[in-house]
Amino acid sequence: MGLNYYHILKKVREGRKLVIRGITTAGSGHPGGSFSMAEMMGCIYHKYLRHDPKNPLWPDRDRLVLSKGHASPGLFSNLAVAGYFDKSEIETLRKFESRLQGHPDYKCPGVEFCGGSLGLGLSFSIGVALAARIDGKKTHIYTIIGDGECDEGQVWEASMAASKFKLDNLTVFLDRNFIQQDDYTERVMPLDEELVGDDISEMWKNAARWKVGDKWRSFGWNVLEIDGHRIEQIVKAVNSVLQTRGTPSIIVARTIKGKSVEHMEDNPKWHGVAPNSQISPIIELELDCQFLIAPSIIAGDMTNLENEVKRASHGRADFIHLDVMDGIFVSNKTFDHEKIRQLRSVTQVPFDAHLMINEPIKQIKNYVDAGCDVITVHAEVCDESSFGEIHDVLRSNEVSVGLAINPETQLPSWTEKFIPDLDQLIVMSVVPGKSGQKYIESTHEKVQNIAKFLTEKKFDGFIEADGGVDLTNLESCFLDGARVFVGGSAIIGQKDVRAIIIEFRKKLMHARRKLLIHRAYSLGGAELVNKWIDLHEVGKKKMDLLQIAKEAGFV
C-alpha cells in the first residue's frame, strides 16, 4: 500500500482550518498544541485507526487517547473531518451545552478519554490496553502526550507499568514541541538539555542534545525518534511499532508549536490564545499556502541515481520527483518501474512519479508496486474511461492521483468530473522530454487561469510547477497559484542541494508573506497590516514583513 500522502496532507490542512474556525468563534482555545500534533493526528485517524464514525462505540475499535486534553480543538477537528459530526459544529466550541468543550468529554462522539488534569492519559491507556488483552481483542491504543506533562511523576510510574506488562498494543506519541504553558520546557524542567537563550531552534538542530529518548529506553520502551511534521516518517514509525512484540512503543515526535502559522510557531504566547476574527481569514489563506519542493533527479548523474536520491533526501526535499520517459510519448528515455523499485529502499521521502509514457493504464500497477507515493499521468494519452480506471487503481492502493498537461494543452472537458477528487495537477512549463529548457513565460497566465477555474470546481489539491523553475521565477510561480515546485538543474544540478533548497524555501516564504500582507490590506487597510506584522515576534520574520509592506506602500 502507498503512503496516501496527499489524502493525509489535505485532511491535516482541513483540520487546522477547523481549529482556527472553532477557537476564533469561541474567543479562546489552544491552537499551538493542536497544530504541533496535526500530522500525527492526521496519520492516526486517516490511515491507521480502526474506527467507525457511524458506530463510535464499536467494541472492536482501536482507541485514540489525547492525554494533553487542552489540545481538544485538534481532536475535535479530526473527529469532524472523519465524519463523527458535522463540521459546522466546531463553531460551538466551549459554548454552554456544547459537546465540544475546552477539554475532551465523553459527550462528544469519538472521544475516548476525558482529558482534564495532565499526566493521567498514559495511566488510563495502560488500563485500556490491559483490558483489551484480557478480552482477547486486537484493539490498539494510540496515546498522545505532551512534553510539558512529562514533568508529572505519574507519567513515569505509568511508563514502568507499561513496560512490566509488555504492552505491545500501546503506542505513545510524545509531542515534543519544547513549549509548555508558561515557557520553553527546557527552562522549566528540561527533558533534553537546559536551554540557554531564546532560540529554541538550536534544540532542533543539535541531536547531541536530545536526551528524552534515552529516558524512555531506560524504562524498557521501544523508542523511535522522528520529525513529527513529516508524514512519511510518522507512517514508517507506526508501521514499525505495529510489528514490534513484547514491549510498548513511544514515538518521540519533534514538532513546532503552532506549526504552519508563522506568528504562532515556537512562540509560547500561542499556547492558549485565540486569534481574533480580523486575523483568522489571513491565517486560513496561510494554511492554503503551504508548499512542497520536489527535486527532479534526472537533472543529476543518470549513472548514479541512488546518489541523487540521497542528495535530495539529505537536502530535506519534500518529494523526490521521478521523470519517467518511454521514448515514445517523448523522444527521450529515462528509466521505468524497475529502477524506481531499486531506488525505493534508499529513502523514505515520498516518490512523486511523473509518467511521460504512452498507454499508462497498461503499466500503472507496476509503478504502484514499485513504491510510488504520487503518480501523475498525462491528459494527452488518457480519456475519461482510462483515467477513471487509473484513478480507481491508485485510490485502492492509497497512492495519490495526479494529472499533467503539456504547454500547448488545455484541460480537456472530460477531466471536470475528476477535479474535486484530484490530488495534483502538473502544468508543464517546458516541452516535456528535454532538460535545461527555459520557463515558457505564457505559462504564468495559464496557471493563473487554471487556478481560478479549479477553485470554482472545488479542487482541494495542489498545482505543481514543472519545467524551468528556478530562483528567478519561483515567486511568480507561487503567486500564480502553484504550490509544488519541481527543480531539475536549479536544484539537483547544483553542488549543494541542501543549500539551494533552503534558498528555494526563503523565496517561497517571501512570496507567501507578500500574499498575506496584500490579503491583510484588502481586509482592513494599513491598520490590519500593522496588526498582522506585529504578531510575528519570534525570529526575523517581522523585518521581512515590514519591508514587503513598505514596498507595497501599505505602511
**Domain membership flag for residue 488:** yes
Q: Residues 179, 315: one domain?
A: no
- Considering only 385-394, 489-498, 509-518, 533-542, which range has the smallest mean pLDDT? 533-542
Compute the average pLDDT of residues 313-321. 98
CA distances from 442 to 209, 379, 474, 477, 524 (A): 50, 20, 15, 11, 33
DSSP for 350-367, written as a single string: PEEEEEE-S-GGGTHHHH
Last residue of a domain, one of 215, 241, 271: 271
**Domain membership flag for residue 276:** no
56-72 pLDDT, tens digit per residue, is 999 999 999 999 999 99
**Domain membership flag for residue 277:** no
**Domain membership flag for residue 168:** yes
Q: Residues 28, 155: one domain?
A: yes
Bridge partners (DSSP) of residue 325 are: 356
* Domain housing 412: 288-506
CA–CA dist 185, 407 (Å, integer): 52
Cβ atoms 270, 264 nearer than 8 A: yes
**Domain membership flag for residue 281:** no
Q: Residues 531, 454: one domain?
A: no
> Helix, strand, coil proportions of the chain in percent (round to 5)?
50, 15, 40
101-112 pLDDT, tens digit per residue, is 999 999 999 999
Model confidence, pTM? 0.96
Q: Residues 404, 469: one domain?
A: yes
Cβ atoms 271, 33 nearer than 8 A: yes
**Domain membership flag for residue 294:** yes
Q: Residues 145, 292: one domain?
A: no
Q: Using the predicted structure, report yes or no on whether residue 435 has a pLDDT greater than 70.
A: no
Q: Residues 156, 301: one domain?
A: no
Compute the average pLDDT of residues 382-398. 98
**Percent of the chain scored above 70 by pLDDT?**
99
Q: Residues 521, 476: one domain?
A: no
**Domain membership flag for residue 306:** yes
**Domain membership flag for residue 405:** yes
Rounded-to-10 torsion of CA 341, 346, 347, 348: 50
Q: Residues 406, 535: one domain?
A: no
Where residue 139 sits, what CATH number does that domain have?
3.40.50.970
Number of domains in the chain: 3
Q: Residues 205, 292: one domain?
A: no
Q: Residues 245, 360: one domain?
A: no
Last residue of a domain, one of 506, 528, 543: 506
> Which band of pLDDT confidence, cut at 50, 70 and 90, is reported for residue 277?
very high
Set of cell numbers at residue 313: 533526501
Q: Which amino acid is at 533?
A: I
Q: Residues 172, 240: one domain?
A: yes
Q: Residues 244, 221: one domain?
A: yes
Where residue 381 sits, what CATH number does that domain have?
3.20.20.70
